[in-house]
């Protein structure tokens, strides 16, 4: 190796670059030795501190923790979406299924001279004495008889004004009014519903009694347009009452009528479907049909209160059978939906007034029999309020 000239005992500049400095050659203190394994104190683990937003994120270089977090987020999002879909689809599916069970008829028809749509809401509720769907044992059990065809035992209006509580208005079935069936003059209003009432119009088409002629007969006589139509037969009536667990009714005196299958004591009591049916059908009382109208209003009010009670609406074991029984037995207009029935029930939760179309007299007429003639002044006062969507005046109310 070549060297430059100089002092042989001293390093040249080239060697200085590679020799350690003197400070690195000195030994400072004694040599440190590791203690024996049995003398090493146990390792003290520090308590894991919760990471805050100001702390730096830790990365393991492989993304394991990140993928685990994303997997948990995806799982939570999937569970949340699934729950939302179930909560949306199940009730919607049940509603569509229940709505499809309703039987529909063309009850509300347009015709020349039909009254204008009122500012309130009017449901016509008809109780039919049809025995359709009832076998001989069932008819014998309920003492309904075996009459063929269809007639109406009950005609009521559920009137809801723009503001205020709803009112149940009974329409006496013997009300003497002009008929909407061709070839028939003035007669009892329930005649317009009977399927045995038939006539021929100007075009030669046969028209028989039913929901549409009944609605038209009432609308022409009152000047009030009907917005919704609801009909229920005897069998459905019983199933509906049993579905809500019975209703409380309060006869003022003992009642016994074998023809209606009724035998009850005086005072408030819980009645099942069969007993309630006899209670609203019997005429075995001093005022016959007029007393029956009062009992029908009492029953309808009690049924609505029971059906809309929280113990029914929020109990699936009672609400479910109620919906099934109702949709299986109700007949509605073609344009009516299940939501209209639900709206009818909810309209009456606040309170229900009950009345009847005011009556002037009950004469007996040749070839017609005993009829009910409306009080012209007071009934017009009632109908005018219904057309305007106003509460029915007290002076137009009838017991």
| Residue 43 lies inside a defined structural domain of this protein | no
Q: Assess if residue 48 is contained within a domain.
A: no
More confident call, 39 vs 140: 39
pLDDT digits (tens, 9 = 90+) for 186-224: 999 999 998 888 888 888 888 888 999 999 999 999 999
Q: Domain check: are 78 and 118 in the same one?
A: no
Identify which of 23-27, 37-41, 246-250, 313-317 has the greatest average pLDDT: 246-250
pLDDT at position 18 is 56
Q: What is the CA radius of gyration of the chain?
A: 42
In a domain, 340, yes or no: yes
Residue 32 in any domain: the answer is no
> Pairing mode, if any, of strands 330-333 and 103-105?
parallel
**pLDDT: which is higher, 25 or 317:** 317
Residue 12 lies in a domain: no
Q: What is the mean pLDDT of the chain?
A: 78
Q: What is the pLDDT of residue 31?
A: 57
Q: Shortest CA distance to 358 belongs to which of 304, 396, 316, 305?
A: 396
Cα–Cα distance between 333 and 347 in angstroms, integer?
A: 19
Phi/psi at 163 (nearest 5 deg)? -135, 140
pLDDT band at 23 (very low <50, low <70, confident <90, very high): low
Would the pTM count as exceeding 0.85? no
Average pLDDT over residues 10-20: 57
Dist. CA 326–CA 237, nearest whole Å: 9
Reduce the DSSP state of residue 114 to 3 states and report it. coil
Give residue-wise pLDDT tens across range 319-363.
777 777 777 778 889 988 888 877 777 766 656 788 999 999 999
**pLDDT tens-digit readout, 112-162:** 999 999 889 999 999 876 555 555 565 555 554 445 556 677 898 999 999
pLDDT (mean) for 46-66: 61
Question: In this predicted model, which residue has the larger pLDDT, 293 or 384?
Answer: 384
Q: What's the confidence (pLDDT) of residue 21?
A: 56
**CATH at 322:** 3.40.630.190
Give the strand pairing for 352-356 and 359-361.
unpaired
pLDDT band at 292 (very low <50, low <70, confident <90, very high): confident
Identify whether residues 259 and 345 lie together within a single domain. yes
7 in a domain, yes or no?
no
- Asked whether the predicted pLDDT for residue 59 surpasses 60, the reply is no
Answer with the one of 49, 78, 100 that is the final residue of a domain: 100
User: Does an H or E element contain 369, and which?
Assistant: strand 369-370
Q: Which of 61-75, 217-231, 265-279, 330-344 has the lowest mean pLDDT?
A: 61-75
Q: pLDDT at position 257, please?
A: 85
217 shares a domain with 85: no
373 Cβ contact partners less than 8 Å away, ≥ 6 residues apart? 175, 176, 359, 360, 361, 362, 363
Contact 214, 157 (CB under 8 A): no
pLDDT tens digits along 234-249: 667 788 888 888 888 9
Range of the domain at 149: 105-396
Higher local confidence (pLDDT), 10 or 147: 10
Residues 233 and 263 in one domain: yes
* Alpha-carbon distance values, 71 to 58, 68, 77, 90, 349 (Å): 18, 5, 10, 28, 49
Closest to 381 (Cα-Cα) out of 355, 363, 362: 355
Query: Domain total for the chain?
Result: 2
The residue ranking higher by pLDDT, 12 or 262, is 262
Whether 85 and 113 map to the same domain: the answer is: no
The pLDDT of 65-88, averaged and rounded, is 70
Q: Does residue 258 share a domain with residue 211?
A: yes
The answer to whether residues 329 and 208 belong to one domain is yes
């Amino acid at each position: 190796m070549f060297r430059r000239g100089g002092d042989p005992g001293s390093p040249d500049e080239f060697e200085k670059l590679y020799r350690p400095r003197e400070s690195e050659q000195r030994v400072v203190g004694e040599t440190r030795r590791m203690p024996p394994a049995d003398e090493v104190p146990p390792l003290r683990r520090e308590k894991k501190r919760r990471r805050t937003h100001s702390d730096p994120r830790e990365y393991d270089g492989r993304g394991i923790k990140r993928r685990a977090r994303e997997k948990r987020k995806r799982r939570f999002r999937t569970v949340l979406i699934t729950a939302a879909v179930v909560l949306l689809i199940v009730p919607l599916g049940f509603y569509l299924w229940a709505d499809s069970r309703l039987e529909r008829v063309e009850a509300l028809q347009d015709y020349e001279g039909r009254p204008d749509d009122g500012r309130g809401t009017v449901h016509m509720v008809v109780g039919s004495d049809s025995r359709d769907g009832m076998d001989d044992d069932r008819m014998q059990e309920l003492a309904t008889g075996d009459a063929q065809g269809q007639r109406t035992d009950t005609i009521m209006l559920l009137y809801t004004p723009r503001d205020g509580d709803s009112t149940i208005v009974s329409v006496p079935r013997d009300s003497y009014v002009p008929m909407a069936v061709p070839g028939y003059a003035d007669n009892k209003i329930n005649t317009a519903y009977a399927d045995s009432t038939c006539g021929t119009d100007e075009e030669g088409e046969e028209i028989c009694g039913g929901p549409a002629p009944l609605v038209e007969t009432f609308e022409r006589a009152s000047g009030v347009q009907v917005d919704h139509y609801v009909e229920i037969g005897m069998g459905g009536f019983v199933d509906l009452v049993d579905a809500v667990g019975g209703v409380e009714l309060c006869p003022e005196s003992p009642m016994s009528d074998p023809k209606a299958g009724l035998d009850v004591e005086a005072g408030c009591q819980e009645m099942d479907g069969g007993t309630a049916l006899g209670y609203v059908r019997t005429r075995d009382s001093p005022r016959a049909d007029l007393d029956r109208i009062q009992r029908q209003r009492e029953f309808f009010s009690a049924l609505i209160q029971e059906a809309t009670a929280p113990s029914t609406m929020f109990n699936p074991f009672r609400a479910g059978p109620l919906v099934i029984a109702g949709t299986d037995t109700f007949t509605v207009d073609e344009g009516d939906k299940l939501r209209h029935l639900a709206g009818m029930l909810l309209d009456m939760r606040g309170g229900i007034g009950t009345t009847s179309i005011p009556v002037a007299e009950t004469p007996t007429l040749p070839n017609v029999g005993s009829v009910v003639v409306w009080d012209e002044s007071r009934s017009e006062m009632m109908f005018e309020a219904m057309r305007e969507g106003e509460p029915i005046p007290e002076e137009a109310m009838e017991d």
